[in-house]
């Protein structure tokens, strides 16, 4: 039914529909003739082009004024057959019009092209619309005429449209020139073709200087992708604006936030001709939003994260911990006797105290950890990452140290103490529960006497507590002079003489217990305390070597002292200078002190180890590999490292006399070592049988309970004297 739409566009949908309804009402047979005539005329006059109403025979009932344009008078038309008028400039108008009328009688609309008459004949179009009465049968026919290709009319239309567009552009510019927003036109790729002068105020840039540049040049790296995407999307979203938030650079280098809407301006064929953008500066609005967010997640007094944010970070840390298998630690810190400060000095002093406490705690927080204030005088620290749970105890210690200094409040020095509870978790727990556990531990700490920390550990709380106690005590062992060195002699298997001693550390606890190294060396290694212990051992061994010099004639080979070295010590950049200094200070020479390292220690950081060992060798220190056979299964490193001695692990020696396989392995090790030019020492020789086999296998030296247990140095004075 395209024809209907065609005529509709001429008059406009609404008014034409009105005309049709009015005409339909006029078919009412009860209507008096006068009313009918007047109303038909009025209805037809409502149409914007020439129109006639005809009955089903094609007789003209009435016409409107516009037919005058076709050079025919109204009075001449009424009562005549449609095809017999001078409206047409066609040979046989009936041939064109009759089929239209027939279709109309059957209720179908239609249209035909026909030459129109009058003073300026030209092609035209005749459209016919049936008018139905209430019974829905056709009562009359509406005939509308339209001349085609009236170039003047088209020109006028184009002219009018152009003017309207120009006016619209003027309006656009007028608006753009005066708006406080940034209004721009862009080509389809986004390049600026017009920039409103407001850009001077917003970004302190001259509008003209931006023409031909692309907004991406002003974009912040963090929002550049959003801008590029928005320009891309705008070209694809029909006339819907694309909205987004992004940052643009001010001339002073700072970035401002903008909320921008980009709308495409489409060509008649639907392609994007231009893009129009309007941007509103929302920097202040965003700052307000951010500060609201900050308020929602931060404590107003101290600016620290509040409980809500802590719980969020904790949940996140727990998820990471579960995946990475690294436990996290949570410290619950509660100030001791804070109520007294509040009550005696007033709340404002209390508030100052809390702010100062927050400052001190903030200085302790490690990067990546979170410090929150979750209540009056309650703070929580979350320690995550690789060192989470263990780091928590170190952090607790530092917090207590930090509280040892008094706080200055209103010019007065005031002691504020803190009690700390620690909880650790592997990630599967509820965040609230972990905080509760830390809280419980904090109460334990308070109960034991303020200014302490206590640990809550679901898995083995007593073990953990013990561990912390040990760690604490071990830290003080060196300064409290609680370490001892015992010595175990090494014998040459050919001569039977003592050629050296292995120095083995012990920890003399204040309660009298002598703790063997197996019980504290691993902890010392884990915590790094080993570096300090190791230095003490080296120093003490050097001192002993100088004391034992008295038993030696100048021609005699020196009795060497073997010191055990940990991987951590190899990581100490000061190791070699320290050894050199210490040897010199003791007045001995570098061939009197030797160092032994286990295979597994070398494995930790083979590259760094090699460098340190080369240096030690360079200054004249002999090096041995300890517990050989228990670490690496491939021996290529033996060739690379500057070694002198290989110590066969006790586990092989113990099976020597009874186990054929053990003997085969030991034989192989000895051969390998000799091939590499190394001296072989067997560890843990307990029986004569073992000794016999070692001799047979050509082992060089041995040490073990068969000869002596490790003892205090004085126990060997006599043996050395007769050595
Ligand atoms: P290690 O270096 O392999 O020392 C040999 C261990 O075997 C010593 O144990 C020694 O007492 C024991 N032993 C020696 N002969 C026999 C024997 O015939 N039978 C038995 N059953 N055991 C024997 P100790 O003194 O308990 O030392 C254990 C480990 O602690 C040492 O193994 C060494 O790895 C480490 N260690 C000792 N002192 C130090 C030190 O100053 N620094 C470092 N980093 N580690 C040390
Ligand atoms: Mg050893
Ligand atoms: Mg050993």
Q: What pLDDT sits at residue 620? A: 94
Could you tell me the CATH superfamily of domain 16-149? PAS domain (3.30.450.20)
Sorted by where each begins, the domain ranges of the chain are 16-149, 177-287, 298-459, 474-721
Find the mean pLDDT for residues 663-675. Answer: 87
Closest ligand relative to 647 C-alpha: 3
Q: How many percent of the chain have pLDDT more than 70?
A: 90
- Same topology between domain 298-459 and domain 474-721: no
Burial of 109 (C-beta count, 10 Å sphere; 0-12/13-18/19+): middle
Q: Quick one: average pLDDT of 76-105?
A: 89
- Comparison of pLDDT for 262 and 467, the residue scoring more: 262
The protein residue with its alpha carbon nearest to ligand 1, atom 22, reads 684
CB-CB contact of 121 with 95 (8 Å): no
Q: Encode burial over 667-682: b for 16+ CB neighbours within 10 A, e otherwise.
A: bebbeebeeeebbbbb
287-320 pLDDT, tens digit per residue, is 888 888 878 888 989 999 999 899 999 999 998 8
Does 65 have pLDDT greater than 80? yes
Name which residue sits closest to atom 2 of ligand 1, judged by CA: 564
CATH class of the domain defined by 177-287: alpha beta
* Average pLDDT of the residues in 84-113: 89
684 CA to middle of ligand 3, Å? 8
Pick the CATH number of 298-459 from 3.40.30.10, 3.30.70.270, 3.40.640.10, 3.40.50.11440: 3.30.70.270
Q: Which numbered ligand comes closest to the C-alpha of 649? A: 3
Q: How far is the CA of 563 from the centre of ligand 2 (A)?
A: 7
The H or E element containing residue 255 is strand 255-266
pLDDT of residue 7 exceeding 50? no
- Interatomic CA distance for residues 127 and 416, integer angstroms: 99
Q: How confident is the model at residue 596 (pLDDT cuts 50, 70, 90)?
A: very high
What does R_g of the chain's alpha carbons equal in angstroms? Answer: 51
Position 633 pLDDT exceeds 70: no
pLDDT at 602: 76
CB 435 within 8 A of CB 378: no
- For residue 465, the model assigns a pLDDT of 57
Going across the sheet that includes 453-456, the strands are 370-375, 378-383, 328-336, 417-425, 453-456
- Token pair of 632 as six digits: 């690496």
- Whole-number pLDDT of residue 223: 93
CA of 624 to the centre of ligand 2 (A): 9
C-alpha dihedral (36, 37, 43, 44), degrees to nearest 10: 140
**474-721 CATH pick, 3.30.450.20, 3.20.20.450, 1.10.340.30, 2.60.120.1130:** 3.20.20.450
Mutate to test the pocket of ligand 1, among 487, 506, 517, 529 (most ligand atoms within 8 A of CB): 517
Q: Read off φ and ψ for residue 147, nearest 5 degrees.
A: -80, 140
Per-residue model confidence as pLDDT tens digits over 131-177: 987 777 888 899 998 877 554 555 565 566 556 656 666 777 777 78
Residue nearest to atom 3 of ligand 1 (CA): 627
More confident residue, 40 or 449: 40
Q: What residue owns the CA closest to ligand 1's atom 16?
A: 684
Mean pLDDT rounded to a whole number for the chain = 86
Considering only CA atoms, which residue is closest to atom 25 of ligand 1?
504
Q: 410-433, pLDDT tens digit by residue?
A: 888 888 999 999 998 877 678 998
Q: What is the pLDDT of residue 425?
A: 85
pLDDT at residue 12, rounded to an integer = 45
Which uninterrupted H or E stretch holds 681? strand 679-682
Ligand 1 binding residues, C-beta < 6 A: 488, 504-505, 516-518, 521, 534, 537, 564, 566, 626-627, 650, 683-686, 703-705, 710
């Amino acid at each position: 039914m395209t024809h209907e739409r065609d005529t509709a566009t001429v008059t406009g949908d609404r008014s034409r529909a009105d005309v049709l309804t009015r005409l339909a009402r006029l078919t009412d047979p009860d209507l008096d003739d006068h009313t009918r005539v007047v109303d038909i005329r009025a209805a037809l006059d409502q149409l914007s082009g020439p129109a006639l109403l005809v009955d089903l025979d094609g007789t003209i009932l009435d016409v409107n004024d516009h037919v005058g344009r076709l050079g025919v008078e109204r009075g001449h038309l009424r009562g005549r057959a449609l095809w017999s008028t001078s409206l047409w400039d066609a040979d046989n108008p009936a041939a064109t019009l009759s089929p239209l009328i027939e279709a109309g009688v059957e209720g179908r609309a239609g249209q035909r092209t026909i030459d129109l008459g009058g003073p300026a004949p030209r092609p035209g179009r005749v459209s016919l619309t049936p008018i139905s009465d209430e019974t829905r049968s056709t009562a009359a026919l509406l005939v509308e005429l339209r001349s085609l290709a009236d170039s003047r009319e088209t020109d006028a239309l184009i002219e009018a449209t152009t003017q309207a567009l120009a006016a619209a552009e003027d309006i656009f510019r007028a608006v753009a020139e005066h708006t406080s927003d940034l209004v721009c036109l862009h080509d389809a790729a986004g390049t600026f073709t017009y920039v409103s002068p407001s850009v001077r105020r917003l970004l302190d840039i001259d509008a003209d200087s931006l023409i031909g540049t692309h907004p991406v040049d002003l974009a912040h790296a963090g929002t550049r992708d959003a801008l590029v995407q928005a320009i891309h999307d705008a070209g694809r979203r029909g006339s819907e604006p694309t909205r987004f938030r992004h940052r643009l650079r001010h001339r002073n280098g700072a970035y401002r936030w903008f909320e921008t809407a980009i709308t495409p301006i489409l060509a008649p064929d639907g392609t994007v001709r231009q893009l129009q953008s309007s941007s509103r500066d929302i920097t202040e609005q965003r700052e307000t939003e951010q500060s609201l967010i900050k308020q929602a997640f931060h404590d107003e007094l101290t600016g620290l994260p509040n409980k809500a944010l802590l719980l969020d970070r904790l949940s996140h840390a727990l998820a990471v911990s579960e995946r990475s298998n690294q436990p996290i630690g949570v410290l619950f810190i509660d100030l001791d006797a804070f109520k007294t400060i509040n009550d005696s000095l007033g709340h404002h002093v209390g508030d100052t105290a809390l702010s100062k406490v927050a400052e001190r705690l903030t200085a302790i927080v490690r990067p990546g950890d979170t410090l929150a204030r979750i209540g009056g005088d309650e703070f929580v620290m979350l320690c995550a990452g690789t060192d989470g749970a263990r780091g928590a105890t170190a952090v607790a210690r530092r917090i207590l140290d930090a509280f040892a200094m008094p706080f200055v409040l209103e010019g007065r020095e005031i002691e504020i103490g803190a009690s700390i509870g620690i909880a650790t978790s592997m990630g599967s727990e509820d965040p609230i529960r972990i905080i509760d556990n830390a809280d419980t531990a904090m109460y334990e700490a308070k109960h034991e006497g303020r200014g302490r920390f206590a640990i809550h550990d679901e898995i083995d709380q007593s073990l953990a507590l013990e561990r912390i106690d040990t760690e604490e005590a071990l830290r003080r062992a060196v300064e409290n002079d609680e370490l001892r060195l015992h010595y175990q002699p090494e014998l040459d298997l050919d001569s039977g003489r003592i050629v050296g001693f292995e120095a083995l550390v012990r920890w003399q606890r204040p309660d009298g217990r002598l703790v063997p190294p197996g019980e504290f060396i691993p902890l010392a290694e884990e915590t790094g305390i080993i570096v300090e212990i190791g230095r003490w051992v080296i120093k003490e061994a050097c001192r002993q070597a100088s004391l034992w010099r008295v038993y030696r004639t100048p021609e005699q080979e020196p009795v060497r002292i073997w010191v055990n070295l940990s991987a951590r010590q190899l990581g100490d950049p000061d190791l070699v200078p320290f050894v050199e200094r210490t040897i010199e200070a003791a007045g001995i020479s570098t061939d009197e002190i030797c160092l032994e390292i286990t295979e597994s220690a070398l494995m930790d950081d083979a590259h760094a180890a090699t460098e340190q060992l080369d240096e030690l060798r360079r200054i004249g220190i002999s090096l041995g590999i300890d517990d050989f056979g228990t670490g690496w299964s491939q021996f290529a490193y033996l060739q690379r490292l500057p070694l002198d001695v290989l110590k066969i692990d006790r586990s092989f020696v113990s099976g020597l006399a009874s186990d054929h396989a053990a003997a085969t392995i030991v034989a192989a090790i000895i051969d390998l070592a000799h091939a590499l030019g190394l001296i072989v020492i067997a560890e843990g020789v307990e029986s004569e049988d073992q000794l016999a086999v070692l001799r047979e296998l050509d082992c060089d030296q041995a040490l073990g309970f068969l000869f002596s247990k490790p003892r205090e140095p004085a126990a060997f004075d006599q043996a050395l004297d007769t050595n």
